[in-house]
Amino acid sequence: MNDMTPDGYTTEDGRKIGGVVMEMRNITLRFGGVVAIQDISFDIREGEIRAIIGPNGAGKSSMLNVISGFYHPQEGEVWYKGAKRPTMKPYEVARQGIARTFQNIALFEGMTVLDNVMTGRIRQMNAGLLSQAIWKGKAEREEVENREVVEKMIDFLEIQHIRKTPVGRLPYGLKKRVELARALAAEPSILLLDEPMAGMNVEEKEDMSRFILDVNDEFGTTIALIEHDMGVVMDLSDRVVVMDYGKKIGDGSPDEVRQNQAVIDAYLGVAHD
Amino acid sequence: MPEQFIWGMEVFLNGLMAGVLYALVALGFVLIFKASGIFNFAQGVLALFAALTLVGIMEGQVPFSHLINAVFGTEVHHFGWTVPALGAILLTMVVMVALAWAVNQFIFRHLVGQEPIILFMATIGLAYFLEGFGDMMWGSDIKKLDVGLPQGINSVIDEVTYNIFGYGFFIDNLDLWATFVAALLVIALVLFAQFSKHGRAMRAVADDHQAALSVGISLKFIWVMVWSLAGFVALVAGIMWGTKSGVQFSLSLIALKALPVLMLGGFTSIPGAIVGGLIIGVGEKLFEFLIGAPYLGGATEIWFAYVLALIFLVFRPQGLFGEKIIERV
Amino acid sequence: MAQPSQATDGMDSVPALLQRNATRFGDEPAYREKEYGIWQCWTWAEAEKEIEALALGLINLGVNEGDFIAIIGRNRPHFYWSMVAAQSVGAIPVPLYQDAAADEMAYVMDHCGARFAIVQDQEQVDKLIEVQEGLHQLEHMIYVDPRGLRKYDHHKLHRYIDIQEQGRAAYYEWIEDLKARREKLTYDSVCVMLYTSGTTGKPKGVVLSNRNIIEASKSSSEFDKLTRDEEVLAYLPMAWVGDFIFSIGQAYWCGFCVNCPESPETMQTDLREIGPTYYFAPPRVFETQLTNVMIRMEDAGKLKKWLFDYFMAHARRVGPAILDGKPVGGMDRLKYALGNLFIYGPLKDTLGLGRVRVGYTAGEAIGPEIFDFYRSLGINLKQLYGQTEASVFITLQPDGEVRSDTVGVPAPGVEIRISDTGEVFYRGPGTFEYYYKNEESTKKTKDSEGWVATGDAGFFEDGSGHLRIIDRAKDVGKMADGQMFAPKYVENKLKFYPNILEAVVFGHQREQCTAFINIDLTAVGNWAERNNIGYASYQELAGNPRVLDMIQSHVEEVNRSLSDDPMLSHCQVHRFLVLHKELDADDGEMTRTRKVRRGVISEKFEDLLGALYDGSREIYTTTEVTYEDGRKGSISATLQIRDAAVVPVETAKVAAE
């Protein structure tokens, strides 16, 4: 990308993208003898929609799990907001403002939609156990304030009608939306989406794309998503990292990536979908 | 009004009171089971341990005195002071939280993701360990526990019922207190679980570990919290049972009575534990009074609860309040 | 022609009513809307301020008297304010169906030449932008929800609250102008223009004056003794005349509060929370609710189900009589009170109908079982017969004279006459002025004496004096042997079965009647689940032999009941098939108000129709379908054709001759 500066760049549709918020430096991840990620570096900038794509088994999910602290790379460094991140547990990463969704949806099935989304606010709620036990003072205030944020997200994702429904009873597409609402309720610095379109039909994919764009537009949220459906990603993202067999084979704007020979080869080598 | 009926009413009320105590123990089971999927066999021993610790602290007993005396040849038994009940209860709670932390740190943290049966075995081990540990720490003699709860016949009820029925009901003050405390405890727990951040986090952890992590919930914290809560419930149960019948090994056996309560009420339901406890309490007392004593030679209280639970297992395996088990084909 | 009525106390326009309400009971709630999980409330005084700010903003934007302002959105206070603000500045509000496709919208926008549009969100803005090329008159768009619109070119696009803000800022500049424009409004000025979807042809713009709306609202409010204390839930399309009458006409006349749901999907919950006292719903809504209740009762415990069945049977026996104030024995009353405690009360609360004092249904015939179900619960559900052209009310059922097969007596001030051909004509103070830019249709519909043709065939019942509607006048055809063919009458009978969603009956100029049927996916799907019948799609379920058996039994029951009616016994359905797709407005098979388009259907499914009459047992067919996003695809299926048993009509025929 030519107009790339340390301070950011301007996208085709005129959005101002800020500086680097997260940087992966020479990440290598091995499971036993299998190399899942090999020496990969890239950055994520404030306000952009950054995609990591690649065929199945390319190591995308592993990369997302490294970012969210579920996996710990053997080599390489994760830099977040200008500082090197020490090895962290997933919940600590979450508390730093990195929210995520899962490919297979990880919601609290027995809890209502409202309660699920409320758990997204845990980071912002810090009333003591005692205050909670008597539900007075800080705890009460906190509960009300956070409920307001949560209601905005519920409104945003148009799930008001299922507010009090236990998540376990919802169909797949709605669960995806609830999970997104929960992640958004955390008001994250970075939102990680793990194959947000997986298992969706064309119409649902379009809806989801709209939501992702609207999130970015409305809240200025930095979004990193992984996806194996090229088409969707190219329309959605500002910059794309392409992975294949654990290596990075391309990085740049969708147009640049599309013309990249290594990417073309990799994608011709596998079945499209 | 026939005498039989009036006596029956008294038996009924007494059954309710006994049921409350069963429910208290069952509650501890439900809490841990809901939050971590662990069926905690050690809940009864936890109650015993809590009661032992409470008595020990109140009387200023030196912990591990037998061991110390054996090793160092000393003769220390008491510090020579006593601690007022409220302070001792708070201190005991601190011990129970420490115990919760230790249980998690040394046992369950290492067993994350194991089969339920493994976790269950671990709690059996924990039960035996705690039993021995408690003995070693505080001695194995039967102790009297008195935290100042009123005991003996409640004269108001006695008088009122006498005026109405011409026969005064014998209701123990301690039972009344137990009922009151248990009700309070249940309301508090339900409110906590439903409407507080940590309660919500607790339910979240019970539901899905991975998701809980991803929203920033520390599993360790929640587990320690849950075990502490179970410890707290055990302490309350220990106080009630201990005051009633002395602090002794048999206290840990009340856990076995909690089992049928859970089968009735469902393993995952807090209200279920309460209702289950009440049904068993009333059921066994009434059965003994109406059928057991006159026709079966008495002592039916020992087995009634289990038979009832068995019947329930056949007709409604998920319990009264448990989530309905539906297998979609 | 009768002397035109004059306004009471100078209340000759909706803005005038607003002024009155804001002055007289400014602190009472006028609008509520649930947002972010909480009911927000605006008093009449606050609403007046909101409307004034918007009106000033509109003048500031350049709205002239006589301009048309399109209003496209779901029921939200903002859009009701938009209508009244438009009226205040002398413009004419034109509410449109928000689910209309872009080209349908384009036709209407072009026809009225709207210079302004106040719309809900990005979806509507996108639609208008898509067709803007052809709309030379459209200048400005105002949107309420800014989501996704940040990056749009804002030269001609404005945010609702910004317009209000500009209005407030320019208060002193325009307030005199606004007052002057309001003063100019009279009983004869146009109040609103509503497009009727119509089952055939292009939509027509029905022009209704302040006289129409206010007189109709006034007399109907008096008829049902509506007061300021009513609560209504506004959830029916704003483009529909009923919503305009209930949520603006009657609400402003009486001064009651209009509640707007949080979203269309939460309507049921919102209904429960609000507990309306005055409620309108088309038969379809009552049907769906009843189906849901029945499904839930199927899954309920034995005791609960037994209680429900026991008390419902009792309610069916004595409920309607109690509601009508007829004498009922003490024991029955006691039992009914008990049922009310255990079943009716909780059920009504669950349905959100616990406080309904006056409930109406109209638009289509309602199944007698459905109608009686609600009435037996003690809900005062009544029927009315109306049209956009009549400002809704033609006939109404008075309390205590309610039946499922009539539509009541003429509304106050309305005269009705039946023509020689059996068609119903009416005239009254609510009768519309004219169709906009369509003199021909106006003349065809409304004669020089003010009589309006309804297009419906009907008659006044002897004795009760109630009107009975049989069918659309033009749908009433003749069978090959010259007997009367009333398809809708038969279709309604079929549709009263919860398993049947839609039915289209054929028979005009034919020897015998046949039918296309759409199953109700919810009801039949539930039945399938209980009976372990797996299915992946509507099509698969519709083709299941056991489903066909079930539908066949329904058809045969209808035939039996038809055979009892000497006028219509020859309309029994001889053969039928279950369609492989649901009839859909997007495919043009139905109107947006879900009335079947007979012509389109018989053309589109010509092959199927042929098969119904050539005796074949099954037929293979391919049909084009339109998806929600406008793309097209096709589905194909082999459909079975079933013969239904008919009751011989020889005797009936003899009797008729």
The string of pLDDT tens digits covering residues C110-136 is 999 999 999 999 999 999 999 988 888
Which band of pLDDT confidence, cut at 50, 70 and 90, is reported for residue A131?
A: low
Supply B79's token pair.
């510090």
Which pairing describes strands C452-460 and C467-472: parallel, antiparallel, or unpaired? antiparallel
Distance CA A188, CA B84 (A): 50
Contact indicator for C423, C473 with CB cutoff of 8 Å: yes
| Window 187-216 of A, Cβ < 8 Å to B | none
Tens-digit pLDDT profile for residues B83-125: 888 889 999 999 999 999 999 889 888 887 788 888 889 999 9
Cβ of A108 within 8 Å of Cβ of B191? The answer is no
Within 8 A by CB and 6+ apart from C154, the residues are none
Within 8 A by CB and 6+ apart from C579, the residues are C516, C517, C518, C542, C605, C608, C639
Lowest mean per-residue pLDDT among B6-10, B49-53, C151-155, C261-265? B6-10
- Spell out which residues of chain A touch residue C628, defining contact as CB-CB under 8 Å: 203
Q: What is the pLDDT of residue C656?
A: 39
Cβ of C36 within 8 Å of Cβ of A152? The answer is yes
The closest CB to that of C262, out of A148, A160, A218, belongs to A160
Taking residues C264-278, report their average pLDDT. 92
CA distance, residue A180 to nearest chain B CA (Å): 12
Burial of C26 (0-12, 13-18, 19+ CB in 10 A): middle
Cβ of A161 within 8 Å of Cβ of C35? The answer is no
Cβ of B214 within 8 Å of Cβ of A68? The answer is yes
Cβ of C263 within 8 Å of Cβ of A158? The answer is yes
Cβ of C37 within 8 Å of Cβ of A147? The answer is yes
Task: Considering only residues C115 and A142, tell me which one the structure prediction assigns the higher pLDDT.
Answer: C115
Question: Within 13 Å and on the Cβ side, how many CA atoms surround C473?
Answer: 15
Taking residues A186-191, report their average pLDDT. 94
Largest Cα–Cα distance in chain C?
81
Taking residues C313-317, report their average pLDDT. 90
Which band of pLDDT confidence, cut at 50, 70 and 90, is reported for residue C199?
A: low
The residues facing A99 across adjacent strands are: A191
Closest chain A CA to residue B188: A133
DSSP label at C572?
-
Taking residues C367-386, report their average pLDDT. 91
Supply C246's token pair.
């209930």
End-to-end CA distance of chain C: give it in Å, rounded. 41
Supply B259's token pair.
């089992």
Closest chain A CA to residue C266: A161
Maximum mean pLDDT: which of A9-18, C20-29, C646-655:
C20-29
Distance CA C426, CA C371 (A): 26
Maximum mean pLDDT: which of B27-36, B152-161, C234-243:
C234-243
Q: What is the pLDDT of residue C297?
A: 84
Taking residues C48-55, report their average pLDDT. 97
- Spell out which residues of chain A touch residue C125, defining contact as CB-CB under 8 Å: none
Q: What is the pLDDT of residue A134?
A: 61
Maximum mean pLDDT: which of A212-226, C94-108, C248-262, C468-482:
C248-262
Looking up tokens 């079965």 gives C497
Which band of pLDDT confidence, cut at 50, 70 and 90, is reported for residue C10?
A: confident
- Spell out which residues of chain A touch residue C35, defining contact as CB-CB under 8 Å: 155
- pLDDT surpasses 50 at C657: no
HEC letters along C359-417: EEECCCCCCHHHHHHHHHCCCCEEEEEEEHHHCEEEEECCCCCCCCCCCCEECCCCEEE
Cβ of A132 within 8 Å of Cβ of B210? The answer is no
- pLDDT surpasses 70 at B251: yes
Cβ of C148 within 8 Å of Cβ of A217? The answer is yes
Q: What is the pLDDT of residue C598?
A: 86
Q: What is the pLDDT of residue C567?
A: 66
- Spell out which residues of chain A touch residue B195, defining contact as CB-CB under 8 Å: 135, 143
CA distance, residue A137 to nearest chain B CA (Å): 13
Residue A33 Cα distances to A69, A87, C181, C292, angstroms: 21, 21, 83, 57
Question: Count of A–B CB contacts within 8 Å?
Answer: 91
- pLDDT surpasses 70 at B212: yes
Task: Considering only residues C564 and C36, tell me which one the structure prediction assigns the higher pLDDT.
Answer: C36
Contact indicator for A107, A167 with CB cutoff of 8 Å: yes
- Spell out which residues of chain C touch residue A214, defining contact as CB-CB under 8 Å: 147-148
Order across the sheet with C392-396: list the strands: C278-280, C358-361, C381-387, C392-396, C409-410
The residues facing A239 across adjacent strands are: A50
Supply B320's token pair.
């009264």
Cβ of B213 within 8 Å of Cβ of A102? The answer is no
- Spell out which residues of chain B touch residue A70, defining contact as CB-CB under 8 Å: 210, 213
- pLDDT surpasses 80 at B255: no
Q: Global pTM?
A: 0.78
DSSP label at C312?
H
Which band of pLDDT confidence, cut at 50, 70 and 90, is reported for residue C5?
A: confident
CA distance, residue A218 to nearest chain B CA (Å): 22
A108 CB neighbour count, 10 Å cutoff: 25
Lowest mean per-residue pLDDT among A39-43, B30-34, C607-611? B30-34
Residue B295 Cα distances to B12, B285, B292, B304, C412, angstroms: 19, 14, 6, 14, 80
Q: What is the pLDDT of residue A5?
A: 64
Distance CA C154, CA C138 (A): 15
C331 CB neighbour count, 10 Å cutoff: 8
Q: Give DSSP secondary structure letters for C5-65.
A: P--GGG--SHHHHHHHHHHHSTTSEEEEEEETTEEEEEEHHHHHHHHHHHHHHHHHHTPPT
Alpha helices (runs of H) in A90-192, residue ranges in sequence order: 90-95, 113-119, 129-134, 138-156, 172-185
Question: Count of A–C CB contacts within 8 Å?
Answer: 43
Closest chain C CA to residue A154: C36
Closest chain C CA to residue A214: C148
Give CA angle at C431 (C426, C437), nearest 5°: 120
CA distance, residue A260 to nearest chain B CA (Å): 35
Contact indicator for C118, C72 with CB cutoff of 8 Å: yes
Within 8 A by CB and 6+ apart from C60, the residues are C163, C166, C167, C170, C173, C174
- pLDDT surpasses 80 at B323: no
Cβ of A122 within 8 Å of Cβ of B219? The answer is no
Supply C196's token pair.
């009727």
Task: Considering only residues A189 and B67, tell me which one the structure prediction assigns the higher pLDDT.
Answer: A189
C222 contact A CB<8A: no
Taking residues A155-169, report their average pLDDT. 91
The closest CB to that of B191, out of A120, A122, A135, belongs to A135
Q: What is the pLDDT of residue C78?
A: 97
- Spell out which residues of chain B touch residue A143, defining contact as CB-CB under 8 Å: 195-197
Tell me the torsion sign for CA atoms B126, B131, B134, B136: negative
Maximum mean pLDDT: which of B223-227, C40-44, C443-447, C582-586:
C40-44
Tens-digit pLDDT profile for residues B132-183: 898 888 887 888 888 878 877 888 888 888 888 777 777 888 888 888 888 8
Residue C591 Cα distances to A251, B5, C354, C378, C588, angstroms: 51, 71, 32, 33, 7
A91 contact B CB<8A: yes
**A54: region left, alpha or beta (phi > 0 left; psi from -120 to 50 alpha):** left
- pLDDT surpasses 50 at A205: yes
Looking up tokens 């972010």 gives C36
Order across the sheet with C68-72: list the strands: C92-96, C68-72, C116-119, C140-143, C157-159
Q: What is the pLDDT of residue C159?
A: 96
The residues facing A5 across adjacent strands are: A8
- Residue from B184, B187, B189, B197 whose CB has the most chain A CBs within 10 Å, to mutate: B197
Distance CA C352, CA C377 (A): 13
Which band of pLDDT confidence, cut at 50, 70 and 90, is reported for residue A271?
A: very low
Within 8 A by CB and 6+ apart from A259, the residues are none
